[in-house]
Amino acid sequence: MRHAHRVEIVRASEAELMARLPEGTLMQRAAAGLAATCARLLTGRRGRVYGSRVVVLAGSGDNGGDALYAGAALARRGARVTAVLLAPERVHAGGLAAVRSARGRVVVERETGLAEFSRADLVLDGIVGIGGRGGLRAGARSYAEAARRGVVVAVDLPSGVDADTGEVPGAALRADVTVCFGTYKPGLLVDPGASYAGAVQLVGIGLELPPPDVTALQHADVAALLPVPDVESDKYRRGVVGVAAGSATYPGAAVLAVAGALRGGAGAVRYVGTAAEEVVRRFPETLVTEGGPHGAGRVQAWVVGPGGGEGARQTLAEALASDVPVLVDADGLTELGRLGPGALAGRTAPTLLTPHTGEAARLLAGADGTAPPAAADLAAARLATARRLAAAYRATVLLKGSTTVIADPGGAVRVNPTGTSWLATAGSGDVLAGLAGSLLAAGLPALDAASVAAYLHGLAGRHAAGEPGAPVTASWVAEALPVVWRGVREG
Ligand SMILES: NC(=O)C1=CN([C@@H]2O[C@H](COP(=O)(O)OP(=O)(O)OC[C@H]3O[C@@H](n4cnc5c(N)ncnc54)[C@H](OP(=O)(O)O)[C@@H]3O)[C@@H](O)[C@H]2O)[C@@H](O)CC1
Ligand SMILES: Nc1ncnc2c1ncn2[C@@H]1O[C@H](COP(=O)(O)OP(=O)(O)O)[C@@H](O)[C@H]1O
Ligand SMILES: [K+]
């Protein structure tokens, strides 16, 4: 599991540790890890560190200090290091002295700096780290916009990315690799910030940290959560997932939700709705029941809403009246937005909402009676949006899109690392809903069901798209689920 902590917590942990260590120890640890990564990258790119061109962009804080000390270490190994000082009067004095004594060059003129930047083998972005506020300032912005040839390594965080939220309020430097210190920062795991970070490497500096603000599952975590039948299992004990989806206008949504549900670990899938014929033709293993969720017999979790059309309100009401977990998606969310959080007030079992940002906007409007916020604003602030919705509806929320974010009303937040934009194809959300519902029926808590589903769905999208990638359909994503499920169990 990857753990991320917000800046306030990082600073408190650093202060606590620094008080017990000789001055500068943490920065030396950080710089040593950073230099080691840079040396590996240069060796991979040029065969050796000696003779390579390295540019250190150094801002006015300790982030610049880390970068300068790492630059000095590379210079001692024979790299031709140029330190570009963005604020010469406030540069980290120790770091600058280290570069000078390692015979590095120091420049302060912007034009010279930009020219160096564009012919470097490696650029160290030490403009600003966790102390950054707002978009990059003018002096730094020109570097973010400059063409580049070499590898860009961000120090702790790509400059211009908000560490706590992943928001990018203005220009930011795009890195190939980010070397972060002590813990991941939420902004490294959540788009748009994550898309600036490249591959993220963590360098331990000995911090003792409290529980994380944000986590991201990895293969081993998912493998441990996957429901696997044992000798005692029968189809009912494995869980029955009810799918109330599809309509005359959208029968395909029912087929796709069932496709996801059949691959999600429940022992059986029960379908209710008007698309029974299409569902059974495609998946004869589906149990079909007449009427709505109310009279459908025993299920351990409901999925309501995909392609629900006109009947979504009644279906939603019947599912919410049950005492089993309910996943609400698509048209079900539109209805829930009209009803507001009060519609969930009487529920005794978990509710999982799976909006994209457009549906999230309607849900938020339903929660406070205001006009729906712009979906683009919600997408730019994904962590805050998911948290707000979870708090307003007292439900677990899976916010879809570029970096799917899952928030529990209790405050836990997970981000999904496996997504791919190839998944932005009609019906792939229906597959996800069925899959997550199946995991709920198999007994996973809502946070786990949602994050495991997002993880597998993302992997399935990648698997279906292949390398370097080609368009996929939602059906192929569903078909790829067993392969990626096995892959996760194999580690
Ligand atoms: N603490 C520790 O023990 C350890 C910390 N470590 C390292 O320290 C980093 C944190 O260092 P930090 O606190 O000095 O802040 P930092 O990120 O350098 O930025 C502050 C400077 O940037 C400026 N600035 C602000 N916003 C800006 C903008 N938008 N655009 C441009 N400039 C902007 C701001 O200017 P001011 O607002 O003061 O005018 C201020 O001068 C951390 O990320 C890690 O790398 C590691 O060595 C491990 C041990
Ligand atoms: N840019 C993107 N990057 C990664 N995943 C995306 C992106 N855009 C959409 N997705 C994913 O694609 C799926 C689309 O779901 P949804 O919007 O409900 O579509 P539909 O209603 O057609 O099924 C979601 O899993 C979402 O997270
Ligand atoms: K940086």
Specify the ligand 1 atom closest to the Cα of 67: 45
∠ Cα 90 96 97 (to 5°): 125
The residue from 185, 213, 241 where one domain ends is: 213
∠ Cα 81 84 87 (to 5°): 150
| Ranges of residues in the chain whose predicted pLDDT is under 70 | none
Range of the domain at 139: 2-213
**Which ligand neighbours the alpha carbon of 168 most closely?**
1
- pLDDT at site 145: 86
- pLDDT at site 456: 98
State the ipTM, two decimals.
0.96
Q: Is 60 in the pocket of ligand 1 (CB under 6 A)?
A: yes
Cα separation of 55 and 230, whole Å?
A: 58
Q: Ligand 2 centroid to 196 CA: how many Å?
A: 20
For residues 156 and 287, state if they share a domain.
Answer: no
Cα separation of 318 and 306, whole Å?
A: 15
List pLDDT tens digits, range 81-131: 999 999 999 999 999 999 999 999 999 999 999 999 888 999 999 999 999
Half-sphere exposure of residue 412: CA atoms within 13 angstroms, side-chain side = 15
- Helix 7-18 / helix 25-46 crossing angle, nearest 10 deg: 110
464: CATH: 3.40.1190.20
Q: How many domains does the chain have?
A: 2
For residues 376 and 443, state if they share a domain.
Answer: yes
Q: Ligand 3 centroid to 381 CA: how many Å?
A: 21
Is 132 part of any known ligand binding site? yes
For residues 123 and 227, state if they share a domain.
Answer: no
Is 156 part of any known ligand binding site? yes
DSSP per residue, 332-393: HHHHHHHH-GGGGTT--S-EEE---HHHHHHHHHHHHSSPPPPHHHHHHTHHHHHHHHHHHH
H/E stretch holding 32 reads helix 25-46
The residue from 213, 238, 273 where one domain ends is: 213
For residues 197 and 258, state if they share a domain.
Answer: no
Cα separation of 214 and 6, whole Å?
A: 9
- Note the pTM of the prediction, 2 decimals: 0.96
Q: Radius of gyration over alpha carbons of the chain, in Å?
A: 25
For residues 176 and 229, state if they share a domain.
Answer: no
Is 185 part of any known ligand binding site? no
